[in-house]
Structure formats: C-alpha cells, structure tokens
Structure 1
Amino acid sequence: MYVIYHQDHWHTWIPLAEFGYNNAEHSSTKQSPFLTIYGRNASFNLIHLSEDTTSGKLSSKLQSAKQVVKEGLDSAIRQFKKYAYRNSTIPPYFQPGDKICVNL
C-alpha cells in the first residue's frame, strides 16, 4: 500500500489502483475480475492486443473462465459453511407434552 503525507495527487493514482485490483487474482474466484469478464488478463501495454482475439477462441476462454469462477465460488461457499457451522449443534426436537425448563 502506498501512502503519502501530502494527499493532493490521489486522483492520479486511482486508475493504477483500479487496474491493479481488477488484474489481481481474487481468493473466491481464483482469477482476476478482468479475466472473468474479458477472457484474458489485462496487458500493461493496451496498444498491442493478443493475436488470439477471434470470437471462437474468446468464447472458449470465457466459458473456461466461467467454470473456474464457479469452482472458486463453490470452494469459497464450502469454506464459509465450514467456519460458520463449526460450533453449531443440532437443535433439540420437542413434542407436545414434553417437559422443559425455561430460564427467565
């Protein structure tokens, strides 16, 4: 993280911070948001596009990116459930007529 005492040039750093965030791998999807949306990682030199930008190859890349995102999100959900329910217990089942103790 970059912090400067005189915070008068922050507007010049926002595009770079946004680019870095969108090009970084995220823990839940296991890929960058840019890869998820466009089917390829962002290039620092935006003038030169890769040669394999034909629609068929792009469609294939997007389908595989979608699958990777789905698997990453499923993994994140499983991990969340594991930690969320680690101390939970099965609630008791009462039938009509059962005696219970209530603390007030």
Structure 2
Amino acid sequence: MHVFCYNDSGRVAGCLRVFWKDHDEASGHDEASGIAQIGRVVTLEHGKGIGGQILHEGVRVATEQFKAKKIYLEAQEYAIGYYAKEGFEVVSEPFIEDGIPHVKMEKVIEKS
C-alpha cells in the first residue's frame, strides 16, 4: 500500500510504501510473520515536517490496516533519528547498500 502526502498545490510532496516483510510473489503476501515493512520513503520538500507526518501515517497503516505485530525498515544511517522519533530502534550493525551505510530498525506494536 502506498501512502502519499500532497502539498498545497496538489502535487505529491512525499510518499512511502507499506508491505509484508518477506513478501511472497506466489501468494501475494506473508501475513503469517505479522511483520510489515516500510520502504521507499521519499519527500520532495524538506524542512516542512512532511517526512514525520508521512512516516506516522505509514505506521498507522501498518498497525490498523495490516494489523502488524512489528514494523521493520532499513534506514540510511544519517536518518536513524528521524525513525527513532516514531519509536523505531536499531537492531543491527551498519551495513552497506548501494554504497550507503544503512541499519535495520524495528518498532514493536503494543497490543492493548
């Protein structure tokens, strides 16, 4: 599922996608793990809080619509603080992907 944010001009200002981690092309999903993944987070306008808003909405989608037990993502190292504000914690040592240092992060969803 893609989450979009539009600016005042009606243009897309940011987006991300939410999907099941370890997605199985044959079955279309892998709900059994209960782990949703957020990826391809991008904002076109910086310094306006769009990133935080869209990430918050992505977490809401994973929690309410996917009923995920945990949310996983791979963050560029410089963005750890951005994800930490939404409750994500680093769960790996840094690794290189496409020449850029990344870390794995997770957010466990508290069930009431």
Band the TM-score falls in, shorter-chain normalisation: under 0.3
| Greater fraction helix | 1
| Greater fraction strand | 2
TM-score, normalisation: structure 2: 0.21
